[in-house]
Amino acid sequence: MTKRSGTLSMRLALAGAIAGCATPPVMAQSDTSDESGPFAAAPARDPDIAVQEEFDAARRADTVKAWELFIARHPDHRLAKEAQQELRRLTGQ
């Protein structure tokens, strides 16, 4: 038997062993009703962090288009006022 056919035999044996299981081991452990199991959803991301990241990106770009886009996407956010000041600075208004 060559090395290649030996590897294939091992893969087929492993596939057969997995197919013979009623449920994968991970699934068997997730019977609890709490959300700390392997399939628990990640906590929601703070939306303010995402807006801050967009603001920082606009600041790095420092173009009229970048500031206009930020203001259009977040007109009521606390950073919109600062973005408007940056836009006025760039446009000379």
Statement: residue 67 has pLDDT above 70: yes
Nearest CA to 51 out of 71, 27, 30, 21 is that of 71
pLDDT of residue 38: 73
Residue 8 binned pLDDT confidence (cut-offs 50, 70, 90): low
Nearest CA to 59 out of 93, 51, 45, 48 is that of 51
pLDDT in tens, 15-63: 555 555 555 555 444 444 555 667 778 888 888 999 999 999 999 999 9
R_g over Cα of the chain: 27
Q: What are the residue boundaries of the structural domains of the chain, listed by start?
A: 1-32, 47-91
C-beta separation of 63 from 90 below 8 A: yes
